[in-house]
Structure formats: C-alpha cells, structure tokens
Amino acid sequence: MQDIYILGISAFYHDSAACIVKNGEIIAAAQEERFTRKKHDFNFPNNSINWCLKEAGIKTKDLSYVSFYDKPLVKFERIILTYLSYAPFGFKSFMMSMPMWLKNKLHTRDLIKNELPDYNGPIIFTEHHESHAASAFYPSPYQESAILTMDGVGEWATASIGVGKDNNIDIIQEMHFPHSLGLLYSAFTYFTGFRVNSGEYKLMGLAPYGKPRYKNIILKELLDIKEDGSLRMNMKYFNYCVGLTMTNRNFDKLFGGPPRKPETKITQREMDMARSIQEVTEEIMLKMARHVKNITQKDNLCLAGGVALNCVGNGGILREGIFKNIWIQPAAGDAGGALGAALFTWYKYLGNKRHADNKKDSQKGSYLGTHYSNEEIKKILDEYNIKYEFLENDELVNKVAKLINEENVIGWFEGKMAFGPRGLGARSIIGDARSQKMQSKMNLKIKFRESFRPFAPSVLKEKCSEYFDMEAESPYMLLVAPVKKDKLLPQANESQEGFDKLKTKRSIIPSVTHVDYSARVQTVNKEDAPLYYDMIKRFEQISGCPVIINTSFNIRGEPIVCTPADALRCFLNTDMDYLVMEDFLIDKKLQNIPKDRLKYTQYLELD
C-alpha cells in the first residue's frame, strides 16, 4: 500500500505552524516562530513546511493531501456581517484589516498552490473548532471521549462541545461570537497592560498576588453566565468587534481609570483584576465541564483551544473529579490547529480506523520538532570559537546534576524541540528548585522578565504525588496543582500583599512554589525524555530532591530557541552558567562574552 502523507497548516492569525502525518502517525510539527525568530509569527509557515517535509523524507509532490485549519470564507463572512451591524463605527479598523484579507486570507487555496507548486492533490478546509477538537481527541489515549474546545473565535464558534468515538468526531453544541470566554480573558489581558494573544499567561500568573475585588462587578455588569457555562457579554463595555482595542471608555469608567500602559508599574488594581477574572474564568470552565459531562456521559475529557492553556482552570476541572481522565492538547492554541487539520483528514475525511492505547497518547511527548547531531553542533561551536567538553551520557548526566546541586543555571538543548508553547525539557533553562534566590535570578538576569512570574517544576513521574497534590500525569505542563502540605513551611507573615508575597519562603522547593502554594507541574517519564529523566534522577540521588526548575529556553519577547546558534546566542548574552547541547558541555567562564549584551534584546518586541 502506498504511504499517505498529509500536510496540516495553520496561518494568518497567530502562531502559524505546519505538521506532517504519515498513515495517521504524527511525524513532525513545528511553529513558524521558531524559524523566523518572530514570536507568534502569523505568516504562511514556509519554513515549518519545508522542515516537516525534510523530516518526513519527502518532496512536495509526494504529499497526498493538504489540510488547512479553518474556513477563511466563513470567517470573512463573520467579519463583514459584524462590521455591517456596527456601521458606520469601525471603519478605520475595517480598512486596516482588509489588505491582509484581500492579499492572502481570501485566496488561501491559491496561495497554498503557489507556495507548493509541485503539489496537485486535494486541499481540505476544516472548521476552526473541528481542528481544535481533532487535535485534542485523535492523539489522546481514549477510544471514546467528550471534547471541549474554548478560544477567542474561529469562524463563528468561540467554544464547542463534541464527542469523539473511534475515528469519528461530532460537534454537538457551539457558543458563537461575540460572546467568548477567550476574548473576555484577552480583554482583561489588554486592560492590565499585557499583549493580547501573548500575555494571557502573565495575567494568570499575576492573579495570586491580588484579591477578587472586582469579581462581583464582572458578574453583575459584564456577563450573564448560564448554568451550562455559556455566557452572554454586555458588549457596551467591549470594543473588539470593530475597534482597535479590546475595551472602551465604559470599561475604563467601570474599573476606575484607563488601561495600564505597557511596561509601567503594576498596581494593586491590576493584581485584583487578574485575580477576579481568573476566578470567573475558572467558574465558567467548571460549569462548561459539568455540562459536557451531563450531555455526553463520557468518562474522558479532551481539551483544546487557547483557553485550554489556562492550566489553573484545567487543574480545577481535574480536582473536581467531573471526569475520570483528562487529556489536553499541548499545542492547544492555533498552532495545534495544523495538527488537528491533518488528523481530521486522515480519520474523519478518509475514514481510516483508529485504535487508541488507553494508557499512552500518540503525541510522542510533543517532541516533534527540530533536532541536531553532535557533528552539526560541533561545527557551530567551532565557528563561534567555543571551548567545550564532550561527555558521554552517564558522564554528562552526573556532571549536570552536580552543577544544579551547586546552584548553577543551565541551558539544556537536547533531542527534538517540543511542539507547543511550553519548554518540556528539550529546549529548557533548568536550576535547583530548592534555592530561594533562583526565581529572581532567572527572571531578572536570564529571562529579562517581570519578577512576579512563577517557574514550573519538572518532577520524576513516579515522585509527583509526593510533592504535589495530584495523581494524574502532567507531561505537557498544563495542570496546576497545590504543593503537598508536608512540603510547605510555617508562614511568619501572611498579611503581606502584592509583590511583597515574593519575600516569603513557602516550601522546601520555593523557586517553583507560587505565592498561592501551587505549581504548574511537568511530570517526566523515561520513555519520552530518557536523558532528561536520567539527569533529574541523578540529581535526586545527590540532593534527595526529584524536582528541578524548568523554564523555556528563551528570553522575554523571543521564541524558544530552535537551532544550536539560537541557543548559543541566548546563553552568551544572559547570566546562564553552563550550556548543554547534546553531548557537549559549555562553561560560561571559559568563553569570550559579548561586551554589549543588551544588543541581543533590541530586535525583540516585548510580550
């Protein structure tokens, strides 16, 4: 039988990506931003496509199908009808959006043909939330599952409920624009001074510093939330339908002044707004999950869409025990739509059989991206005149574990790059979770980002429940769990407010314990990440602790590093102490350090 190769593509909104599926198996997937070094790059993913083809060992002419993650014409219809309903307001916004539509989006089929000139096969367009649903269900370990997708907006849908069984997906309910949990959360992201479609995770991280002072105002003035989790928004306060901003002057008046200007001081108001909208979001997510359970009666739940990156909300659904099992697509946002579109074509469009494992997903740890041999890395190191040690696996693991125990910060570049927004131990910056000073050092001296931002722990899978109040696996860093009570320390000053909370040491792993005693957990298993697992295991043998800090290998405003050259630039221009690239260990003290390291950040747009 001839192999069937399907190329999935997402593009033109944010986080463009490409994916190759061979006979139903995910071969490769990557976001365009990793290649162009432009965070959340929305352009047509030529670099990602070319790399995926290379990884699959095929040419464009060998593709059987190309699948695009949404229906541009339906989306355009929604935009036109929305502008008409608000006319004459929104003319400026309309004129700004039209060039992209007239140049690319309306002609996506022709654009694909032009960019893939040797391809003569079918081009499939899936609906946006079908792509999300497919990305959640098809790689999951379940033969049968309920599906919940939540994001800003696709064509018309802003959330959907579906059922997956065998190779089929049925969408049974939708919520429609302009009423959207994702856009509601993004409105508060904008108002608190962070970038929409980029800074939502900052809002989530900021929430524990505040109090829910605005929660009642949100529930009374902005929203009507039904028992099933559906919502209607009072559009008198929002500007995103036809404006250039997310909120308007009515919103300003309601919350006591204009939005915070980016990069200005974060005040208690922003902290309290973050806490308020986070609590409202969690309540809505729980209501939606309960409703999904009621109408599907399934034991399993699959989640996708940008809201599914709200790991605090995900953790709440897990702890409520609404479903026996939960699986979340690691590239839950638009990037994952490329994967969903390809799998939708293989299973539903072509009708191929599907057999789930029931224990393990088919996402391969989400390690689906670029990788480099020792020979390729050595060539780069020599070009940069880098001094290095070459260490075999056991030697490398032992040395790195000792260096972490001595409170060194290490760049870890090994194996295949992860698909999705999280650094999962292939392109990571790692350190000792027991060190109180690590959070501020890594935030301010290495990541060049706000000091309030928490770091995630990587923990050996079998030791997770000893440190965190969670029995489920969390390989993709998409679940937040409380730190176990026996790992917490007595608190001397619980009256602290705002960023003063950072001064208190809360647990025996303080650098990964957020101010609300929670952590965004990554469980590490030997099958998916053997060297990373062995290194943490060796660190446990030395220190008695099976937990390390893991943050993505990049600085603020920069995509996660992709190539050895990317990793070297980031390492040399920050205060990391050591760099691991496959079997090479690089000591910062032995290198020629750039004299003006600030130049490294000048081309980056702050997120």
Q: For 78-87, 121-130, 326-335, 591-600, which range has the lowest pLDDT when averaged over its residues?
A: 591-600
Phi, psi of 98 (to 5 degrees): -65, -40
Is this prediction's pTM over 0.75? yes
pLDDT band at 598 (very low <50, low <70, confident <90, very high): low
- At 143-192, the pLDDT tens digits run 999 999 999 999 999 999 999 999 999 999 999 999 999 999 999 999 99
**Does residue 88 register a pLDDT over 80?**
no
- At 441-463, the pLDDT tens digits run 898 888 888 888 889 999 999 99
Pair 434, 543: CB distance under 8 Å: yes
Pair 116, 145: CB distance under 8 Å: no
pLDDT computed for residue 91 by the predictor: 76
Other C-beta atoms within 10 Å of 217: how many? 13
Which amino acid does the sequence have at 245? T
pLDDT band at 592 (very low <50, low <70, confident <90, very high): confident
CATH code 3.90.870.20 for 374-601: yes
- At 42-76, the pLDDT tens digits run 999 999 999 999 999 999 999 999 999 999 999 98
Question: Which CATH superfamily does the domain covering 5-141+332-366 fall into?
Answer: ATPase, nucleotide binding domain (3.30.420.40)
Q: Is 22 helix (H, G, I), strand (E, B) or coil?
A: strand
Domain ranges within the chain, ordered by starting residue: 5-141+332-366, 181-325, 374-601
**Does residue 272 register a pLDDT over 70?**
yes
- At 323-339, the pLDDT tens digits run 999 999 999 999 999 99
Sign of CA dihedral 366, 514, 471, 397: positive
Which amino acid does the sequence have at 355? H
pLDDT computed for residue 186 by the predictor: 98
181-325 CATH choice from 3.30.420.40, 3.40.50.720, 3.30.300.180, 3.40.50.1370: 3.30.420.40
Which amino acid does the sequence have at 224? D
pLDDT computed for residue 119 by the predictor: 97
**Does residue 494 register a pLDDT over 80?**
no
Domain 5-141+332-366 matches domain 181-325 at the CATH topology level = yes
Peptide bond between residue 178 and the one before it cis (omega within 30 degrees of 0): yes
Give me the chain's average pLDDT, please: 95
